[in-house]
Amino acid sequence: MELSDLLDLHALGGDFAELYDFVNAGKSCAVVALGPAERAHIATHLGRPVLYIVSDLPTQNMMYERISSFCAATAILEPKDDLLIYRKAFQRSRIASRLKVLAGIVRGEYDCVITTPQAAAEFYPAPERLLSHILKIETGGSYELTQLTDKLAEMGYSREERADEKASFSLAGDTLVIFPPDEDLPVRISFWDDEVESIKLYDPESMMTIAEKKEIEIFPCNDLLLSEKEWSAALAKARAASAKGRASSSERRESIIADLTAAGASDQGGQWLLPVYLDTRSSLAAYLPKETLVALEEDGLITEKLRLYAEEHRARVKALSEDGEALSAHEKILSDAEGLKSMIAPFVKAAFYSITSTARLFEPQRIFKLRCSPLADYTLNYKTLYSDLRNFRNGGFNVVLCMGDERTARTVCDSLNDEEILCHFEKQPSAGAAIHVTPLKLARGICYPGCKLAVIGREDIIRRSSAQASARTRAAFSVPKLGDYVVHDVHGIGRCVGIRRMTIRDAERDYIAIEYAGGAMLYVPIDQTERLSRYSGGEKAPRLSKLGGKDFEKLKESVKKSLRAMALDLVKLYAERMQSSGFKYSPDTSIQTEFEQSFEYEDTPDQTRATQEIKADMERGIVMDRLLCGDVGYGKTEVALRAVFKTVTDGKSAVILAPTTVLARQHYNTASARFAPYGLKVELLTRFQSKEEIKASLDRLATGKSLIAVATHRILGKDVRFHDLGLLVLDEEQRFGVEQKEKLKLVKKNVNVLTLSATPIPRTLNMALTGIRDISVLETPPKNRLPVQTYVTELTDALLKDAVSREIARGGQTYVLFNRVQGIERMAAKIAELVPEARIVVGHGQMDAVTLEDGLRAFYNKQANVLVCTTIIENGIDVEGANTLIVCGADKLGLAQLYQLRGRVGRRDRMAYAYFTTEPGQVLTTDAVKRLKSLMDYTELGSGFKIAMRDLEIRGAGNVLGREQHGHIEKVGYDMYCKLLQECVDELRGRSGSDVAAEVTVDLDAYLDSRYIADVDDKLKVYREISELSSREEANALLEKLARTYGKPPKELENLVTIGLIRTLACRVGVEKVNISERVGILTFADGRIYRQEGYLEALKGFEKQISVTAEDKPRIVLNKFCGGVKEKTGLAEEILTKIYILTRRFN
């Protein structure tokens, strides 16, 4: 029996069958007293396509998980962005995704679409208009490239040199690359003349083809879809409407219309004109099949939400139109409850209520009361599961456990039988009263006592852990691109200006051209690209080095001297800790497992791994000193609390030390809530506790009545005594003063220390510090965060008033970032004038610490609802109620700062808003425009996002290593800094020195033809991959990858790969020169150390007839004249070097 047969409503009989027949007779009804899983089951088994409307976004996401468990063809239709605020950039991925869902509805691709009342009541392009604007490209089809690129521009895509960002495209030769905003990967379309040869999704980082497609659909990334004639008419109507508006605000309206006129019909900002082209729009009803069932979850709530939304909309239109930010006609762009009622009128409807209620949007013809019994959450309590299963069995129930895969199903079946709960493993459930454990997939289950049926899903029993994000291995050092600042390991900082082909000794080779100070040029052979790295040292451009001077070598030696001292200290500390005798904590108990599973959110993979690493340290019996890095909201506190819990369950004390009272209060609230169910009291020690409170807390801590404290540096006082201190959690250690750090050194000697840092740390630095500093990194953001609604717009009084008032009206708080101390008080005064109900505090770095902290504390405690501040909020406090951010002068901030600032809002289940504003009328630089657009369309694969993360990581490196080391990173670049650090660490560990820099000259044409790969940046990536080859297997794999992506590699590229491999092998075994021509073939070693390498002579066995070996200060292997031509000698040289490399490495 299939699971679908078991869940069929007719098969369930009784009221379930009657409900099915009633709905399919075209009658509307209400269904009461069902839980979320049961609603999902019923709605998707009524034999009709479903539009499922819920009251808000968190419920939408929750029901998507429930419904998609029963119905794979499920989608979410998201509401539009705010249409009242005129913007210069939009989140195009959301627009394209919404249009894709709408097209899917028309085509019947979905069995269920889940949405909110706002989205259900909106106006959309007519279905036929949308379908005509979808670009379909098929393999073997003929397309004129110019027409395609024009079409993409009309659809809102921007043409770039490289399509690295979503909603962009590029054309190089016969290759068109498009990055659809609703996809995770760009698509490469190869043409032969006008015919499409191939369509391939590829990874822009590795250039590897991920999938090949026969066809692809490209959706517009704006939903205006107006012809030029309609666009001109809309502008004329807008001018006429503007002329009727308030005269005092006409200048602002005319400015917006002028911007739109200049931008053209393809610009998404034209949404502002919606009220004057509503005649081209349709309601959602036009998309729905006539047999659609409209399911309404708590339609009383839906009606109330729409009423409040409409009231807010009307008030905002009135205020904004008075200031010229909107037209009075904007009032009609929102459909209210009556509009929704009209939209759903033609369809059969089913309302779901928790309790019997009066329907607001339709009159049900019958109310069904289906008997259900929601299943308990068994993930934390297997005793309840065992008890319920026994009761089900005794009651004659048919019980089906859906475990998702065979292995898990068999394990669960064995466990239940061990508990003497008789059950059977079955690939498909059978009928009858028994317990069936199956590998079928169902997330959450249902229970219908009247039908004697209980279906239990995997997530009812096993807590879901987030799937590991695809492990995208980033190269240890970043590949430079055209125009980048680069660092040469000898000549220093220059600028990459292109690739030049030169003929040397009758062989053509490619060289990377690097420009230095004074216009001097250096040409680096492409097989030596590992000598180059992209400069990353902050957001400021570096000064170019002087070519041929000794300055850079001196600078490197100076940095290395400092690094040696730092690394030596770290190695000593690490060695001392490894030999130290700390407390050996017990392995995890059931209560530790219960505590961790009681966390209300799903663990990210990084949280799970970090927790395991920390507990492993604690169980080893050494003194732990581990750094835990991760952005605000990534779950560091939860990981730390698990370490605290493990500490106190073994009878020891734990302290969480924060640099400010605000952070201390935040940790105290979180810790108290988490530990309360286990009877653990948390003490708070800050300057805001009275002397009596502090004395009582200290007494409890000293006697062991309390084992957990959260404190500021007050805890470092001489009067503080702990009952057997076992763990110190340090939050943002770099923010403590010098005196406090000295006291911390004394405390840290004998207790486990876990240091938390809110700035990400570079992976390469983490690798370099492996073995001398224990680091855990949280890189995966939590699941199910609602997206931050992001706006790029001009800063006006109307915008300030609208955004702040709107947040206050919903009981929230607002950050206003004004990054100039001069004028910040005037900004606060302006907001107070515009929004009298605002309770405002000001915060900036030049205030004295106590005043600043008091202001932040007032904001954290919701005594203030607006914080006007500088970038001091980049790291630190997590204010739950702050869900609106307004950044003034966003064009003057770096992408890294903007990205991190946006992370300060939107960490809860409430929609957050971020406004990145510029001065009215200001002309932005090209770079500023790109930065702000990157914020709208950023993706993990986007270059803008990567640059932002690199800048953030460099700050993280400074936090971990100290201010002096951050200065060194700025001088030599981050990648060079990491190389030097790795060399110092290797020296201290007694590893062999750096590889020799080999010079390879082979008389073969070896280059990457532009007809094969046209894009210069893609070429540079291939060159870097070639320079990192270390075996023939890797070389062949690279050639195969290139063949899949670009077609069969030409012989010049094959030569290039072989020469690159020879150079790497030569460097590894100490050969400084390889010279191969028709006449000679010589491998020259840098020195005589090779003779001391065991395995060297063994490696040369078998080559006696082809080579001769000289024993000199610089030994040579000479290939004799009978070895053949250049090609044959090259192959022989590779074979010899490979064998030397393998055998010397094996023996040594």
CA distance linking residue 739 with residue 403, whole number of Å:
56
pLDDT at 942 over 50: no
Residue 435 pairs in a beta bridge with 399
Residue 471 belongs to a domain: no
Q: How far is CA 989 from CA 557, 573, 1147, in A?
A: 19, 14, 19
Q: Are residues 721 and 584 in the same domain?
A: yes
Q: Are residues 400 and 348 in the same domain?
A: no
pLDDT at 943 over 50: no
Closest residue by Cα to residue 167 from 180, 177, 185, 176: 180
Angle of helix 797-809 versus helix 824-834 axis, rounded to 10: 70
Identify the band that residue 769 occupies on the pLDDT scale cut at 50, 70 and 90. low
Give the CATH number, domain containing residue 152: 3.30.2060.10
Domain boundary among the residues 714, 747, 778 is at: 778
Would strands 348-353 and 293-297 be described as parallel, antiparallel, or unpaired? parallel
Higher pLDDT, 1120 or 46: 46
pLDDT at 921 over 90: no
Q: How far is CA 1043 from CA 617, 784, 1039, in A?
A: 47, 39, 6
Angle of helix 1126-1147 versus helix 1051-1069 axis, rounded to 10: 30
28-32, 502-506, 580-584, 855-859: least confidently modelled range: 502-506
Instruction: Give pLDDT, residue 467.
Output: 38
The DSSP call for residue 760 is -
Q: What is the pLDDT of residues 74-97, one digit of tens each?
A: 999 998 877 777 766 667 778 888
CA distance linking residue 639 with residue 618, whole number of Å:
14
The DSSP call for residue 142 is B
CB 1021 within 8 A of CB 601: no
Ramachandran bin of 302, using left for φ above 0, alpha for ψ from -120 to 50, beta for the remaining angles: alpha
Residue 1148, C-beta contacts closer than 8 angstroms, at least 6 positions apart: 1093, 1094, 1095
Mean pLDDT in residue range 932-941: 58
Residue 253 belongs to a domain: no
Domain boundary among the residues 441, 461, 481 is at: 461
Mean pLDDT in residue range 869-884: 81
Residue 956 belongs to a domain: no
DSSP string, 419-480: TT---EE-SS--SSSEEEEE----SS-EEEGGGTEEEEEHHHHS---PPPPP--PPPSSPPP
Higher pLDDT, 378 or 380: 378
Closest residue by Cα to residue 675 from 751, 731, 619, 598: 598
Mean pLDDT in residue range 880-892: 91
- Buried b / exposed e over 145-179, threshold 16 CB at 10 Å, is eeebbebbebbbbbebebbbbbbbbbbbebbbbbb
pLDDT at 468 over 60: no
pLDDT at 764 over 70: no
pLDDT at 154 over 60: yes
CA distance linking residue 611 with residue 645, whole number of Å:
12
Identify the band that residue 466 occupies on the pLDDT scale cut at 50, 70 and 90. very low
Closest residue by Cα to residue 19 from 290, 367, 344, 364: 367
CB 103 within 8 A of CB 219: yes
Percentage, residues of the chain above pLDDT 70 = 89
Instruction: Give pLDDT, residue 968.
Output: 79
Closest residue by Cα to residue 416 from 438, 433, 396: 438
Instruction: Give pLDDT, residue 283.
Output: 93
Instruction: Give pLDDT, residue 953.
Output: 54
Domain tally, the chain? 7
Residue 177 pairs in a beta bridge with 170, 188
CA distance linking residue 789 with residue 452, whole number of Å:
46
Residue 885 belongs to a domain: yes
Mean pLDDT in residue range 23-40: 93
pLDDT at 44 over 70: yes
Instruction: Give pLDDT, residue 949.
Output: 53
Mean pLDDT in residue range 409-437: 91
601-615, 693-707, 780-794: least confidently modelled range: 780-794
- Buried b / exposed e over 779-808, threshold 16 CB at 10 Å, is bbbbeeebebbbbbbbbbebbbbbbbbbbb
Instruction: Give pLDDT, residue 888.
Output: 94
Report which listed range, 139-148, 616-625, 894-903, 905-914, is most confident: 139-148
- Buried b / exposed e over 701-716, threshold 16 CB at 10 Å, is beeeebbbbbbbbbbb
pLDDT at 682 over 70: yes
CB 126 within 8 A of CB 101: no
Q: Max Cα separation, the chain?
A: 102
Q: Are residues 190 and 79 in the same domain?
A: no
Q: How far is CA 1 from CA 412, 451, 507, in A?
A: 21, 17, 71
Give the CATH number, domain containing residue 346: 3.40.50.300
Instruction: Give pLDDT, residue 470.
Output: 33
Domain boundary among the residues 218, 240, 258 is at: 218
Instruction: Give pLDDT, residue 475.
Output: 37
Local structure of 191: helix, strand or coil: strand
Q: Which two tokens stand for residue 6?
A: 């078991």
- Which stretches of 849-943 are assigned E, i.e. beta strand? 866-869, 882-887, 912-918
Local structure of 243: helix, strand or coil: helix
Instruction: Give pLDDT, residue 930.
Output: 67
Q: What is the pLDDT of residues 1020-1041, one digit of tens each?
A: 888 888 888 889 999 999 998 8
Q: Are residues 1011 and 1136 in the same domain?
A: yes
CA distance linking residue 341 with residue 332, whole number of Å:
16
Q: What is the pLDDT of residues 858-871, one digit of tens each?
A: 998 999 999 999 98
Residue 480 belongs to a domain: no
Q: Which two tokens stand for residue 924?
A: 């932005």
Q: Are residues 1001 and 1084 in the same domain?
A: yes
Closest residue by Cα to residue 960 from 786, 774, 706: 774
Instruction: Give pLDDT, residue 474.
Output: 35
Higher pLDDT, 919 or 906: 919
Report which listed range, 538-552, 693-707, 727-741, is most confident: 693-707
Q: Are residues 913 and 979 in the same domain?
A: no
pTM: 0.71
Angle at 417 between CA 414 and CA 423, to 5 degrees: 95
| Residues across the chain | 1148
CB 621 within 8 A of CB 485: no
Q: What is the pLDDT of residues 969-985, one digit of tens each?
A: 778 877 787 778 777 87
Instruction: Give pLDDT, residue 473.
Output: 32
Q: Are residues 824 and 863 in the same domain?
A: yes
pLDDT at 734 over 80: no
pLDDT at 767 over 60: no
pLDDT at 273 over 50: yes
CA distance linking residue 370 with residue 63, whole number of Å:
19
CA distance linking residue 219 with residue 217, whole number of Å:
6
Torsion 29-35-40-44 (CA) sign: negative
Identify the band that residue 169 occupies on the pLDDT scale cut at 50, 70 and 90. very high
Amino acid 24 reads: N
366-370, 629-633, 867-871: least confidently modelled range: 629-633
Instruction: Give pLDDT, residue 553.
Output: 87
Mean pLDDT in residue range 1059-1072: 91
Q: Are residues 599 and 680 in the same domain?
A: yes
Mean pLDDT in residue range 21-32: 95
Higher pLDDT, 41 or 928: 41
Closest residue by Cα to residue 722 from 712, 708, 736: 708
Q: Are residues 836 and 902 in the same domain?
A: yes
Q: Are residues 570 and 585 in the same domain?
A: no
CA distance linking residue 136 with residue 495, whole number of Å:
41
**975 is in which domain, residue-wise?**
550-575+966-991
Return the C-alpha torsion angle 535, 537, 540, 546, nearest 10: -50
CA distance linking residue 163 with residue 943, whole number of Å:
10
pLDDT at 801 over 90: yes
Higher pLDDT, 273 or 92: 273
Give the CATH number, domain containing residue 453: 3.40.50
Q: Are residues 1012 and 1131 in the same domain?
A: yes
Identify the band that residue 689 occupies on the pLDDT scale cut at 50, 70 and 90. confident
Residue 262 belongs to a domain: no
Give the CATH number, domain containing residue 1023: 3.90.1150.50
Instruction: Give pLDDT, residue 954.
Output: 57
Q: How far is CA 657 from CA 590, 634, 709, 710, in A?
A: 28, 19, 8, 6
Question: Cα 1073 vs. chain centroid, distance in angstroms?
Answer: 45
CA distance linking residue 487 with residue 496, whole number of Å:
10
The position carrying tokens 């394209």 is: 96
Residue 451, C-beta contacts closer than 8 angstroms, at least 6 positions apart: 12, 13, 14, 16
CA distance linking residue 364 with residue 367, whole number of Å:
7
Q: Are residues 816 and 910 in the same domain?
A: yes
Whole-number mean pLDDT of the chain? Answer: 85
Mean pLDDT in residue range 698-715: 91
Residue 523 belongs to a domain: no
Q: How far is CA 781 from CA 641, 882, 907, 937, in A?
A: 19, 19, 10, 17
Percentage, residues of the chain above pLDDT 90 = 42
Q: Which two tokens stand for residue 74?
A: 């499920």
Instruction: Give pLDDT, residue 1145.
Output: 76
Would strands 1116-1119 and 1081-1085 be described as parallel, antiparallel, or unpaired? antiparallel
Residue 212 belongs to a domain: yes
CA distance linking residue 1002 with residue 1055, whole number of Å:
9
CA distance linking residue 866 with residue 832, whole number of Å:
10
Mean pLDDT in residue range 1068-1085: 92
Q: What is the pLDDT of residues 434-464, one digit of tens each?
A: 999 999 999 899 999 999 999 999 988 887 6
pLDDT at 125 over 90: yes
pLDDT at 539 over 60: no
pLDDT at 187 over 70: yes
For every residue of 992-1009, which 3-state class applies, written as one string? CCCCCCCEEEECCCECCC
